[in-house]
Amino acid sequence: MNSDINQSNKLEFIKKELQERKTNNNLRQLNAIYPKDAVTVIKNGKRLINFSSNDYLGLSKHPQMITASQDYLNRYGTGSTASRLVSGTYDIHEKLEEKIAKLCGKEAALLFNTGFQANTTIIPTLVNQKSLVLCDRLVHNSILQGIFLSQAQWKRYKHNDLSHLETLLKKAILQGYNRILIVTETVFSMEGDRSDVDRLIQLSQQYNTLLYLDDAHALGIMGNKGMGLTAYQSGIDISLGTFGKAMGSFGAFITTSKGMRDYLINCCPGFIYTTALPPAVIGSIDAAFDMIPNLDKERDYLLQQVSYLQNNLINLGYQVLNSSSPIIPVIIGNEEKTLKLSNFLENNGILATAIRPPTVPKNTARIRLVLSSQHQPEHIDYLINLLKQYHEF
C-alpha cells in the first residue's frame, strides 16, 4: 500500500520550519533566568539589569504580595481543584470579582486564567460566521486567534486610524451582518502607543456595534488610580485586564455588564471548561488591588523616566516609536542587526530582548525596552551610555 505518510518523512515539516526560521534569524529558544529583584536577574551566572519585563511597578517581588499569597495558600490550599461551575468557585474568587468591578466602576467582573485564553475564547462566544469583526492592524496575536476561531468575517483598519475604521463601519452597516464587533488594545504591546478610547466608544455607539478593549498594558499605570484607560467608561461591552504585568501576578479578568457576565458563564468554553485560578494567585491579586490605587508617585516617576529615555534615544539617532507608555520600541529593522544589539547589551549587563517577525511586521525587528518604577536613574543612564557606544561603532 503506497502512502505519502511514512516514518521517515512525517516530521519533515518540523525540520523545514525550524531551518527556515534559523536562516532568517527568527529562531526562538528558551533562556532561563533567576529574578533577584524587580529589575535584576541572573542569566548564565551573570547579573543583568532587566529592561524586558512587564513588571511596570515591581510588584512581583513586593512583600505585601508575597505575604498575601502565602496567607491564601495556607488557608485554602494549593489548588482550586475544579472549574468554576463545578466546585472551583471559592468565596475568594467572588470577593475578588466584586472588588475589581467596584474599583473599575463597572457592574461586574469575571476572572480568566490568562489574557490569551480570554481573548481566544471570548471573541468566538460573541460573534459567528454571520458577524463582522473590525480590529486594529497591530492587535495582539491572541485577538487574531480569537477572530480566526470565531469564523467571523474580519477586516483590519490602519493602525490607530479611526477615520479608516469609520469608513469600514459605514460600509458594514449596509451588508446585513447579525452583529459587528470592534476589538483593539488600549496600549499596544509592541508599539507602546495608545488608542483613542473616547472616539472608539463614540463610534461603537453611533454604529451600534459591540466594543471589546484589551486594557492589559494600561492597567496599573494609567487611568484614575491606575485602574486602566477603560475604568469608569460607559459604552464598552467588555474590557480585558491582566494580572501578569503591572499587577505583578498571573491571570486575567474582564469588566462588563451583569448580563454579559451571565452569558459568558453559560456560553464561553474557556471559562466553563478550565480549572479556576489557585488560591495563592488570588491572594497576590487581591493585595495588588489594595496597593495599585495608592501608587500615583510611582506612576509619575515611571512616566518621567520614559520621557527621559525616549528623548535621549532620539538624540542619539535611534528610531524610536511614538510611545506613551513604559514600552519603548527601538526599531532596528534587520533581524540579524537586532540580535547583535541585544547580544551587545547582554554582554554588558543589560537584558533587552530582540523582538522579531512574526511577532512584529517584517522589517521592523526591534529592541523592546520596558521601564519599571523600580529602575533607578543610574540604571537608565547606564543603558543610554551603552546604546551611545554601540551607535558610534
Residues that are catalytic: 54, 140, 185, 189, 214, 217, 245
CA distance 198 to 204: 10
The answer to whether 255 touches 235, Cβ cutoff 8 Å, is: no
CA distance 207 to 138: 22
Torsion sign over Cα 292, 296, 298, 301:
positive
Q: Are strands 319-320 and 327-333 parallel, antiparallel or unpaired?
A: antiparallel
The answer to whether 131 touches 172, Cβ cutoff 8 Å, is: no
Report the 3 state secondary structure along the chain.
Answer: CCCCCCCCCCCHHHHHHHHHHHHCCCCCCCCCCEECCCCEEEECCEEEEECCCCCCCCHHHCHHHHHHHHHHHHHHCCCCCCEHHHHHCCHHHHHHHHHHHHHHCCCEEEEECCHHHHHHHHHHHHCCCCCEEEEECCCCHHHHHHHHHHCCEEEEECCCCHHHHHHHHHHHCCCCCCCEEEEEECECCCCCCECCHHHHHHHHHHCCCEEEEECCCCCCCCCHHHCCCCCCCCCCCEEEEECCCCCCCCCEEEEECHHHHHHHHHHCHHHHCCECCCHHHHHHHHHHHHHHHHCHHHHHHHHHHHHHHHHHHHHHCCEECCCCCCEEEEEEECHHHHHHHHHHHHHCCEECCEECCCCCCCCCEEEEEECCCCCCHHHHHHHHHHHHHHHHC
